Structure 1
């Protein structure tokens, strides 16, 4: 026989329609956004690794001044690898735009067609898709290269250029002024007559080779080339090659932030569901007491009151996932395809995304509601019949002698509904927190960029491939720089840390305190905050190419906020990397130095640091509108639902006041202004709590981010949160004023108390 309690579900739904629909809308919006984002991110990630595998992306490359003879090639291939010619020619498309042109590669770094076809005839070319879009080229158009008109026949993506970085020592992608292209063999031979680079790529036989094994192979290749009289102009593994490694290293950094936002909202919605269920139980306490006295078990009632929340959650999750798969992917896809060069994306069903946006919310709501209902229904039937549903509640009458009647009545309303108002306070805390999460991202990013710029010690930093003496460079300061990795457990990733070997009298780092002991280091502020380190702590670093470990004690924390770095005396760092005391491989200078490009491994300028910060935070910047919109919606929903619950619990008292002759305006003054007092006090008290919670959340949200973004909230934003809270309550107040007008005079006759 069907459970007769199910007949009341539709009635309960209609009575709480506004509440349930509000919750459902928030859940749908959030799940659809998160589902769309995670679907795209995981699909892009799968596409990237699948494309690299199917298109046989290289494990490394090197360039020489002339082609290798067969004997040298055979010696290199005896190293358990396959060697491929991967020559290219660089051609100027305009004064500030250059294209790197390859033959159509069929065995390594194979191109994927994005639109059109690959070139088959002379004077045909296929351009990288991102470069073509940035420069507004279309398939079928003609460009002028090397004195010839070349027809664009297609757009492509190649696995060795997912990031368009012209020189590996460049710190920024530039898809406007640098592109990659494919031509047929005859056209390439024409280009090669004027400009060609003899570049060779290799693929190891061992597919899961470590960075050290790959690096050792590259060094073996170098030795063979030198032994046979070949001069190398470039050599690097795929991990060292930014055009290949930049995107894989960058992917997934914003996933924890989005998941954190989802989980916070789930907590808020579960809290609202609990409050609604408690209100319904209070309203139907006599019915529940009768049912328990008639033989219904507590578990049967728990299942009954869990039905609506679970149905609403399931329906919202289903609708949210449908919208997430159909509506949001194009928006999030543009975030990646506007910066990186990838083959066509087919959005797939991602089990991990489905678990995050459907299974977890459902289980979360199920557990929270079950625990609440079990606790709430764990009282005797007689107490339900007496409407005494609050455990251990002792009613105390407080005498109020001072103030006007309206003021005393408002205080009495607050005291009588202190439980409801405490619930409202918790709701405002959650809502303020989520609102703060939405509006604080912009200032945090701006603060990150400003800190990065302010922390720059010199206008130019050069890292050299080998020591180079510079004449007439009095402003330049020599130093030693190397890079090591350390494991960051919270984010499950390896962080690159730059080690600086400085002179004790460094004029650029004149405010730093360097340790004298060789097993101690000074670390940057950002690195200390990211790792949770303080003075005296010990930390282990690893050289990924030698797999050698180094253990250090934190001597001091230096106020540097432009990256992860560690500092030693130059002598100690040189000893650590087995170099003599006079060794150096870098310069700091406030003026541009005259160093030939072939000696420069990387160059960092003040403008580069600012651009890096902008690039690092660009993806988060695109998420700000979504987070802000969602936070305001949730704020409105929470304020409306919880404030209306207070009004609903006092509907009988309002009815009595109407019978006694009070008009709607006076009743509004008595009840809504009492709520307004609670809202104002709550907004003030919640500000510091919300800020503390936000600081904790930031560490979690950016734990897979390879930089440190500090929680920063200007004072004016605290005012914004307060003002927005008042504005939202004003809107809610307007809606509730209309509800007061609908309070039935006969409501008071239903109660015997």
Structure 2
């Protein structure tokens, strides 16, 4: 039909506007497709690795390993597969630790991605990310614990998907910690303290209810960790779960913005061509023919945007999948897990929504009679809104009154500008809060609260007085409402742990009740004055305590009580302790189960801050891009709609700057009102998101907004708005003086 020839001509004339909405639609589809496919690939690899290589259901460490007969008895009784595994932590240099395991055959079976499994004395396989970060390749010879060994391959372990040294660590840093596999002979030859753990697996992937108590009765448990509580396993599960909301929420918001822009463009096109539509209808064109013609704009935008989004998203999913795999130390068991439904949804949903909404807009215009369309549009009655009736509204000069009237009578434009700025601001503030939270989390948790340098955990209860000025404490695992919690029995006057909340020291409150961490309070929904019941994990004894305060401990669901009170609850001797905080560097001995070096944790955070900064920069660029596109499209439409008024102002002698101030800059208050409203909104949304994931991740970010974030955000949003105005002013300058005369002729 001849009408279809107008579509490419119109798009060519308004190429900037149509290119903008196509880019918005492409970004929405691209984000959905790339994130969905990357997460699908991550999930498929995780499931395959877990099942094929028998990821542990649980593991424990006890003061004395169980005998073979006891292991066989437990296997039969609880239908389990149990296997002993030994390991050593070896310092390859002053800051780097390699955890070497002996090869297992039935649980946590190692996967060799490149090279070969170690077969004889002096051979090891290491994690690829650890090798890459430390410049170690297959075939290299390295020195570990005074023994020269050769690297024969790269290995992945099912229980070290998130490769962290301690369960309480937040970030994985392969440059400082890695894992490896070697032969039992090599492990024995290496100089160091060997640790032993028992791995358990069953087909139901559930920990038997009585198993923990029974093992503890046979040999005192030092550690019992189910897969649900294992951060090295659970963190990837939490990432997959948390990414689900991001996959849908962010693309849907951008999709909504792009649909709104398309509808505005189409509505404007129908308004400009009302007489042409009336003429065509009078000549005999059916409404269905006209509808198909104007739906052509939606088809061009929808097909171009979705197809480009799918292509770019699918291509982007490959490096994203590899990035996830490297971060989580997952082997590439499959290169690309293609999910056709992602492509179908990414193509069908945006296109269908676009066609439905544009059909609705077109039908509203086509309901008008041809004669009505041929007549000049009726002049508005000029009925004032309640806002315009306010006494101060009509005060001041013409410029002020014109700007206010234009602002009040352009509610839809103001609303879209408000939403566009809000979306950009929320993304920007998200990034800034995340960046600041990492620094504050380190400073508060590891410098202000945990003032010790080392934490020494023993393999059995200690009663001897500590030496070197250390502070003994008891640490145990208890249950609160069925959830496992780390219980600390501490001396209220200790100098090695300062439980603070907004600068207030809470240690003295330990005599009145329990002080809990921020994650504990978020998971259980408790605050000062509430009561909770502790359950001993071994004998089901219960103890009711009152919450005396919530400390700014952002990592781990933990609870603090006086040392003597905890020992009494656990039936330990009054002066017993399991661990010691101290400043002196401890020596690894046979009765030392674990040594925590706080400085290594801080260094890990600092070494990974570069990636955080890059993510913040990327999010900021994305926010600015969205803001520029949305604001420029809207300001362009404003210029187009007000071209007769702009032309008339020019005829009257107004300069371009004055006209711009009258027509374009009128929305400046909306931009900055939206910005300042969005700041607390972003903080609240991020806080709610963190609270919803804290049970899976075990940590929570502080979401306070600092003054420098407000300043940086203000500058970025201001520059974004200035860029959109600068682009639209070029269009304003091109409005000719004849536009006003043309309008009068119409």
TM-score (norm 2): 0.78
Per the alignment, residue 742 of structure 2 pairs with: 749
* Structure 2 counterparts to residues 250-261 of structure 1, below 5 A: 252-253=241-242, 256-257=245-246, 259-261=248-250
Task: Give the superposition deviation at 1:524.
Answer: 3.8
Per the alignment, residue 502 of structure 2 pairs with: none
Aligned residues: 727
* Structure 2 counterparts to residues 561-640 of structure 1, below 5 A: 561=554, 563-568=556-561, 577-579=569-571, 582=574, 585=577, 589=581, 591-592=583-584, 606-607=598-599, 610=602, 621-640=613-632
Counterparts of 2:164 and 2:198, CA distance in 1: 18
Provide Cα deviations, 1:260-308, integer angstroms capped at 9, x if missing partner.
Answer: 4333333333332333333234333445567788999999977765653
Task: Give the superposition deviation at 1:674.
Answer: 2.0
8 Å contact from structure 1 (residues 135, 176) kept in 2:
yes
8 Å contact from structure 1 (residues 480, 584) kept in 2:
yes
8 Å contact from structure 1 (residues 212, 546) kept in 2:
no
Task: Give the superposition deviation at 1:691.
Answer: 1.3
Task: Give the superposition deviation at 1:736.
Answer: 3.0
Per the alignment, residue 335 of structure 2 pairs with: 346
Secondary structure of residue in 1 paired with 2:55: coil
Secondary structure of residue in 2 paired with 1:713: coil
Counterparts of 2:567 and 2:438, CA distance in 1: 36
Secondary structure of residue in 2 paired with 1:467: strand
Counterparts of 1:581 and 1:352, CA distance in 2: 61
Task: Give the superposition deviation at 1:633.
Answer: 0.7
8 Å contact from structure 2 (residues 83, 104) kept in 1:
no
8 Å contact from structure 2 (residues 534, 544) kept in 1:
yes
Does the alignment pair 1:471 with 2:465?
A: yes
8 Å contact from structure 2 (residues 168, 555) kept in 1:
no
In structure 2, do the counterparts of structure 1 residues 106 and 498 end up closer, same or farther at CA, with 3 Å as the change threshold? closer
Provide Cα deviations, 1:139-163, integer angstroms capped at 9, x if missing partner.
Answer: 3334457888654443222324334
8 Å contact from structure 2 (residues 81, 107) kept in 1:
no
Structure 1 residues not aligned, in runs of 5+: 488-493
In structure 2, do the counterparts of structure 1 residues 435 and 752 end up closer, same or farther at CA, with 3 Å as the change threshold? farther
Per the alignment, residue 491 of structure 1 pairs with: none
In structure 2, do the counterparts of structure 1 residues 392 and 512 end up closer, same or farther at CA, with 3 Å as the change threshold? farther
Per the alignment, residue 217 of structure 1 pairs with: 211
* Structure 2 counterparts to residues 99-178 of structure 1, below 5 A: 105-119=104-118, 125-143=124-142, 150-165=149-164, 175-176=174-175
8 Å contact from structure 2 (residues 37, 338) kept in 1:
yes
8 Å contact from structure 1 (residues 514, 569) kept in 2:
no
Counterparts of 1:649 and 1:629, CA distance in 2: 30
Structure 2 residue aligned with 1:262, among 231, 234, 251?
Answer: 251
In structure 2, do the counterparts of structure 1 residues 337 and 573 end up closer, same or farther at CA, with 3 Å as the change threshold? same
In structure 2, do the counterparts of structure 1 residues 394 and 288 end up closer, same or farther at CA, with 3 Å as the change threshold? farther
8 Å contact from structure 2 (residues 532, 546) kept in 1:
yes
Task: Give the superposition deviation at 1:550.
Answer: 8.4
Structure 1 residue aligned with 2:315, among 326, 349, 361?
Answer: 326
8 Å contact from structure 2 (residues 163, 178) kept in 1:
yes
Structure 2 residues not aligned, in runs of 5+: 500-504
Per the alignment, residue 709 of structure 1 pairs with: 701
Counterparts of 1:148 and 1:400, CA distance in 2: 85
Provide Cα deviations, 1:493-521, integer angstroms capped at 9, x if missing partner.
Answer: x976444455666674553574889xx75
Does the alignment pair 1:54 with 2:52?
A: yes
**Larger deviation: 312-321 or 58-67?**
58-67
Provide Cα deviations, 1:23-65, integer angstroms capped at 9, x if missing partner.
Answer: 2223334543453344223322321221121122344456799
In structure 2, do the counterparts of structure 1 residues 30 and 627 end up closer, same or farther at CA, with 3 Å as the change threshold? farther
Provide Cα deviations, 1:346-381, integer angstroms capped at 9, x if missing partner.
Answer: 231246755775566556656766777778888887
Per the alignment, residue 653 of structure 1 pairs with: 645
Counterparts of 1:96 and 1:722, CA distance in 2: 41
Provide Cα deviations, 1:708-741, integer angstroms capped at 9, x if missing partner.
Answer: 2233333343333333344334433443343234
In structure 2, do the counterparts of structure 1 residues 44 and 484 end up closer, same or farther at CA, with 3 Å as the change threshold? farther
Per the alignment, residue 686 of structure 2 pairs with: 698
Counterparts of 2:379 and 2:355, CA distance in 1: 23
Counterparts of 1:133 and 1:54, CA distance in 2: 26
RMSD: 5.0
Structure 2 residue aligned with 1:42, among 40, 43, 61?
Answer: 40
Secondary structure of residue in 2 paired with 1:155: strand
TM-score (norm 1): 0.77
Does the alignment pair 1:19 with 2:17?
A: yes
* Structure 2 counterparts to residues 411-450 of structure 1, below 5 A: 420-421=413-414, 423-450=416-443
Task: Give the superposition deviation at 1:629.
Answer: 1.2
Counterparts of 2:559 and 2:64, CA distance in 1: 41
Structure 2 residue aligned with 1:272, among 252, 261, 269?
Answer: 261
8 Å contact from structure 1 (residues 485, 542) kept in 2:
yes
In structure 2, do the counterparts of structure 1 residues 246 and 473 end up closer, same or farther at CA, with 3 Å as the change threshold? farther
Task: Give the superposition deviation at 1:127.
Answer: 3.1
8 Å contact from structure 1 (residues 218, 236) kept in 2:
no
Per the alignment, residue 511 of structure 1 pairs with: 506
8 Å contact from structure 1 (residues 211, 239) kept in 2:
no
